[in-house]
Amino acid sequence: MGHVTINIRGRAYQVACDHGQEAHLARLGRYLDERASQLVESTGSINEQLLLVMIGLVVADELTDAAAEIESLSGANSAGQSLAEADAALAEAIGNLASRVEKVAARLEDT
């Protein structure tokens, strides 16, 4: 069993993982730390528990949007949509996701 220390906003979390997964888990930890920094930057200082909940919600939102886009693009490609059309649809979806994340950050600022 491997172990990785994940740092989020300067706080260390010891996480166990399967051997060989340490580098992958470390990358995921860096991604979460980046998201935490972005949230704190846009909302100001919030307590650690709320921050971790907000990171989870933002990442879950990204994941569900990405899954929906994959499903949509898979259906579009099987329906004969061109690669350029699929790229345009994906770019629009990324823009929409960025807008949603900004709205979440704005709501956090208001609380």
For the stretch 49-59, pLDDT in tens is: 898 899 999 98
For the stretch 13-36, pLDDT in tens is: 999 989 999 999 999 999 999 999
pTM of this prediction? 0.62
C-alpha to C-alpha distance for 22 and 42, rounded to whole angstroms: 30
- pLDDT given for residue 72 in this prediction: 78
C-alpha to C-alpha distance for 95 and 23, rounded to whole angstroms: 30
Alpha helices in the chain (DSSP H): 22-43, 48-78, 83-110
In the predicted model, is pLDDT for residue 94 greater than 80?
yes
